[in-house]
Amino acid sequence: MDYVDNYLFDGIYLLLGEDGTVIDANGFPILQYVYGKFWVNNHAHIITGKLGYTVESLYLLFSLTNIKHIVTGAVQQKVSQANLKKVPVIIPNAHSLERFNTIIQPIFATIRNYRDENERLAALRDTLLPKLMNGEIDISAVRI
């Protein structure tokens, strides 16, 4: 992963590798749950929900679905869009899916909040630690 000057997407999405390392040792897809502004290249499937499926429910669905049987490529593994659409899944009724989403949405909101807080704390650490190390900030009088 790297940084770019602009973004293509803004929101919550699921990324599933298209080529390269697309599955783990057990055949489950390599996934990234992303949110906010981001840029992604053409080597990933960008997945979003529809018809009652949230990105979060899709993340859980894919994380529990073995896709080894749809991976092609002798030298480099590949998951094509056509093969991805062939993955069989059980479709719950709308009421069950809605209830499930009601349970998991707050959990994923908490995950996003914790990730954001970790980033803020890491940035604060990266700002303060050099100043502490070079003596720019003196904490000798602070009692803990």
Q: Assign 3-class secondary structure to 68-90.
A: HHHCECCCCCECCHHHHCCCCCC
Sketch the domain layout of the chain as residue ranges. 9-133
Range among 5-9, 36-40, 91-95, 99-103 with highest mean pLDDT value = 99-103
80-131 tens-digit pLDDT: 999 999 998 888 999 999 999 999 999 999 999 999 999 999 999 999 999 9
Highest mean predicted confidence (pLDDT) among 1-5, 57-61, 134-138: 57-61
Fold entry, domain 9-133: Adenine-n6-DNA-methyltransferase TaqI; Chain A, domain 2 (3.90.220)
In sequence order, the 6+-apart residues with CB closer than 8 A to the CB of 105 are 54, 56
What pLDDT, on a 0 to 100 scale, did the predictor assign at position 2? Answer: 63
**Average pLDDT of the residues in 12-21:** 94
Residue 84: both structure tokens together: 């991805």
- pLDDT for res 1: 57
Q: How far apart are CA 10 and CA 33, in angstroms?
A: 13
Please give the mean pLDDT across all residues of the chain.
93
Q: Order of strands, edge to edge, in the sheet holding 9-17?
A: 31-38, 9-17, 44-47
- Percentage of residues in the chain having pLDDT higher than 70: 97
What CA–CA distance (Å, rounded) separates 120 from 47?
27
136: tokens are: 């720019």
Q: What is the pTM of this model?
A: 0.83
